[in-house]
Amino acid sequence: MKLYLQKLMAGESLTLEEMTEAARKLFAGEASESESGALLGLLALKGETAEEIAGLVKAIRERSTAISGIQGSVTDNCGTGGDGSKSFNISTTSAFVIAGAGITIAKHGNRSVSSQTGSADVLEQLGVSLNSSPEETAELLKENGITFLFAPNVHPGMKAVMKVRQDLRVPTIFNLIGPLTNPVQLDTQLLGIYRRDKLMLMGEVLKKLGRKRAVIINGANHMDEASLAGENHLVILENGELKKMILRPEEVGLPTYSIDEIAGGDADRNARIMMSVLKGDEGPFRDTVILNAGIGIFAHGKVDTIQAGIQLARESLDSGAALSKLEYLIEKSKQSAKMGVV
């Protein structure tokens, strides 16, 4: 670890292999708290590179719970959080719409970060189990086309750095990598990020991680979601190339709403918002989900344009397909709970 710290102190970046090895030492408890804090602090001070982020992700995934037996192309639409918008659970609601459009999605998430209610909080409120085994996860992906992977369950090794992160009390590389650490091998991804200046960087990371296609987005008001409040900044990864794009609501036939109109609340309120959208209620919540799900469908490559993705998102909602994906998870959770009691 000393050699890596000396290199960072000299303003040099670590290679992917060096960062992977340094991270392995963190998670194995082979680095002191001082060394761990210095590593994270020096990386943040210098500015993390794509190789350093990819190296950390590689080390985390090595220690993640293995999810095997999954066939076909799988995507995710998890964001970094950290935007402070206090919005409702946009990406979680959108995930069911994406699944309803026929795309297999392994929804990776956690409890609240920037919103009042995280994906885990709202799904738990609705009766979805957070404790599916690896075998159950694979089965749900096969049968339902969507399941939820609760980050603390699939990344037990992260506990080793929790205290250091809490003690530092400043954003570190770990604030960027949550959506990258899905234990399922993803082919495609929609990645929301709260840092607009990191869009191209995260595109490079996804390329190094082997994504065939991806969209990285920072929305209006610097949300880690697409927003109907104004300009959305996107980077599209396709055929190994990265290109920038700006998307405005009027360009895809959607109205403009202020950020206040999509505010969320506690788990109960956000659960009610999610169900209202999936059951067909019109308004800013639905339109925001349609935009984000449409971009997610486009990111997967099922359609050639975001506009076509938005049309499929509408059909997923209007047909009841999106709602049925959530209801399936709730019912399976009830069955598992009964079996557990017996």
Residue 114, annotated as binding a ligand = yes
> Tokens representing 332?
């399976």
Sign of the four-CA dihedral 49, 55, 60, 65: positive
Helices and strands, counts by H and E, the chain: 15, 6
Judge whether 89 is annotated as a binding position. yes
Q: Tell me whether residue 314 is annotated as binding.
A: no
195 is in an annotated binding site: no
91 annotated ligand binder:
yes
Radius of gyration of the chain (CA): 19
Side-chain half-sphere CA neighbours of 65 within 13 A: 18
How many angstroms separate the CA atoms of 106 and 84, rounded?
25
Token reading at 236: 């599209």
108 is in an annotated binding site: yes
169 is in an annotated binding site: no
Q: Is 211 annotated as a binding residue?
A: no
331 labelled as ligand-binding? no
Give the pairing of strands 146-150 and 105-109: parallel
Instruction: Tell whether residue 270 is among the known ligand binding residues.
Output: no
State yes or no: 113 annotated in a binding site: yes
Find out whether 74 is annotated in a ligand binding site: no
- According to the annotation, is 107 in a ligand binding site? yes
Backbone dihedral angles phi then psi of residue 195, each to the nearest 5 degrees: -110, 105
Query: Any known ligand binding at 73?
Result: no
Is 301 annotated for ligand binding? no
Q: Is 165 annotated as a binding residue?
A: yes
Q: Is 92 annotated to bind ligand?
A: yes
Give which of 279, 321, 262 is closest to 126, Cα–Cα.
279
110 carries a ligand binding annotation: yes
87 labelled binding-site residue = yes
- Number of neighbouring beta carbons within 10 Å of residue 17: 11
Q: Which residues contact 208 (CB under 8 A, 6 or more apart)?
A: 16, 50, 51, 54
Cβ neighbours for 40, distance < 8 A, ≥ 6 positions apart: 164, 165, 168, 172, 173, 174
Q: Which residues are annotated as a binding site for Mg(2+)?
A: 91, 224-225
Q: Which residues are annotated as a binding site?
A: 79, 82-83, 87, 89-92, 107-115, 119, 165, 224-225
Q: Which residues are annotated as a binding site for anthranilate?
A: 79, 110, 165
Q: Which residues are annotated as a binding site for 5-phospho-alpha-D-ribose 1-diphosphate?
A: 79, 82-83, 87, 89-92, 107-115, 119
